């Protein structure tokens, strides 16, 4: 049975947020930026980014820090109402829509209202396939000119509850977690839909490599990478 009462949904959102905040306060959190100043948890600079993560990393993307100017893309599907309420509790602006639905004009209109916000997207959600980049975030980057920041979230000791099509990285109390932000990935503006595939494949490779690096660091098999240069 699905809950439709907005008051109950909001109470549940507060409860879930409280539980996760308490959990994350027990953790040793490392935010690793390939380029200084690209984290959504930092005071905002001049540039706004598109953050690209896997659906299984959503807890880390949300709870590893405060969000001074982050928004997140939420489906128009009825279940998106639950997510939107939870995001509001966490001071994350919910954008109802799709990264591809309605075409470029609709995307420009949507982002015009939030031009001062970062946008976070789980590129393989909400229906999968698992850890596969979709064209939507490439199209969005091309239409807006925003750079994509690939994101990986790993922990030294985690649970992985299984959902319908993916698992979820849930860190165990008092463990260590890492949020990796890769170098900004830029897509040429004005790409046609036929031109998206090549950049989607590039981003897929970047995401795969970033997650491999993060896994190696969490396992103690590799040192933390050094940041390269300050963001423009």
pLDDT per position as a tens digit, 92-143: 988 876 555 544 555 665 666 567 889 999 998 777 799 999 998 998 899 8
Q: Cα(first)–Cα(last) distance of the chain, in Å?
A: 49
How many whole angstroms separate alpha carbon 112 and alpha carbon 47? Answer: 15
Give the strand pairing for 118-122 and 170-171: unpaired
Q: Is the peptide bond between 126 and the residue preceding it cis, with omega within 30 degrees of 0?
A: yes
Instruction: Name the more confident of 186 and 17.
Output: 186
Under a CB-based contact definition with an 8 Å cutoff, are residues 100 and 133 in contact? no
Task: Read off the tokens for 98.
Answer: 């799709």
* Alpha helical stretches, state H, 26-116: 58-63, 80-89, 103-112
Query: By CB neighbour count within 10 A (0-12 exposed, 13-18 middle, 19+ buried), where does 155 fall?
Result: buried
Q: Is the pLDDT of residue 160 over 80?
A: yes
């Amino acid at each position: 049975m699905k809950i439709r009462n907005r008051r109950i949904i909001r109470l549940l959102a507060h409860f879930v947020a409280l539980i996760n905040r308490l959990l994350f306060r027990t953790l040793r959190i490392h935010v690793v930026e390939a380029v200084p100043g690209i984290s959504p948890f930092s005071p905002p600079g001049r540039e706004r980014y598109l953050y690209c993560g896997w659906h299984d990393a959503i807890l880390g993307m949300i709870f590893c820090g405060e969000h001074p100017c982050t928004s997140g893309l939420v489906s128009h599907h009825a279940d998106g109402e639950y997510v939107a309420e939870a995001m509001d509790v966490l001071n994350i602006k919910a954008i109802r829509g799709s990264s591809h639905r309605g075409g470029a004009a609709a995307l420009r209109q949507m982002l015009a209202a939030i031009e001062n916000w970062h946008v976070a997207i789980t590129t393989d959600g909400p229906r999968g396939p698992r850890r596969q980049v979709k064209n939507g975030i490439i199209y969005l980057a091309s239409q807006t000119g925003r750079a994509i920041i690939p994101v990986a979230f790993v922990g030294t000791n985690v649970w992985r509850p299984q959902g319908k099509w993916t698992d979820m990285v849930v860190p165990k109390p008092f463990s260590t977690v890492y949020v990796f932000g890769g170098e900004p990935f830029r897509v040429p503006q004005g790409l046609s839909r036929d031109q998206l595939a090549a950049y989607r494949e590039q981003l897929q490779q970047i995401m795969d490599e970033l997650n491999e690096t993060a896994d190696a660091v969490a396992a103690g098999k590799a040192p933390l990478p050094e940041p390269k240069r300050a963001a423009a």
